[in-house]
Amino acid sequence: MAAARHIEHALGHWFRASPSRSRHPFITGLSNELHRMLVAGDIDIALSFDLPHTRELEVESLFSERLLVVGDRAGGYHLDQPVPFTYHAQVPLALPEPGNSFRQKLEALARDKGITLNVRFEVSALQPLKALAANGLANGFASLHAVRAELESGQLTAAPVTGPAITRTLRLGQLRQRPPSAAVQRLAMVVRDEIATLVSDGSFLSARKA
């Protein structure tokens, strides 16, 4: 996610100053991968969108954001002109691979609406998604924080989605059976502070505006 790069940079000074930094790496990855690693005990803490609440995990919701549909200039999207969810049956989409939790969420919404999403490309990384959208090959979904620069330069256009709004929740997860070390507790605190900063400066489009 785009926010992960901001948080990773902000945490860099803390890791370099921490004597236990080598035992507590900050790993970025896909949501499904981080969930698997956390449950397996390979990592102590995970920051992930829509991390599931399970009996193995202690999960804390930090923020819910509204996602945008993004396309090229010809798409003519506007941040103040929401697009109905059913519109996405008519346009080519770039979505993550089958089994991804976000794609499953979208496909469930599509079934509820009686439509089929037109998935033209399967991509999980942000940069290929933005390239496909900018070149008019497919529309995709992204956060305001992730595409702000491209919106300002005119490479992309974007709009909120309605009926329903597309949202996701950023969550911090830890294993219940593993008491957090002092370093992990400090890491969690720093992550919370950085997310609060991103929220307060308007980097995210709050789900409360949906």
pTM of this prediction?
0.76
- Residue 14: pLDDT band with limits 50, 70, 90: low
* CATH T-level fold of 68-165: D-Maltodextrin-Binding Protein; domain 2 (3.40.190)
Reply yes or no on whether the pLDDT at 206 is more than 80. Answer: no
Q: Which two tokens stand for residue 72?
A: 């090229």
pLDDT of residue 209: 46
pLDDT of residue 137: 97
Q: Which residue has the higher pLDDT, 38 or 108?
A: 108
Domain ranges in the chain with CATH number 3.40.190.10: 2-64+169-209, 68-165
Q: Which two tokens stand for residue 12?
A: 């860099």
Task: Give tens-digit pLDDT for 24-45.
Answer: 555 555 567 788 888 888 888 8
Superfamily assignment of 2-64+169-209 in CATH? Periplasmic binding protein-like II (3.40.190.10)
pLDDT of residue 210: 43
Q: In the predicted model, what is the mean pLDDT of the chain? A: 84
pLDDT of residue 111: 96
Give the end-to-end CA distance of the chain in Å, rounded to a whole number.
21
Q: Which residue has the higher pLDDT, 64 or 132?
A: 132
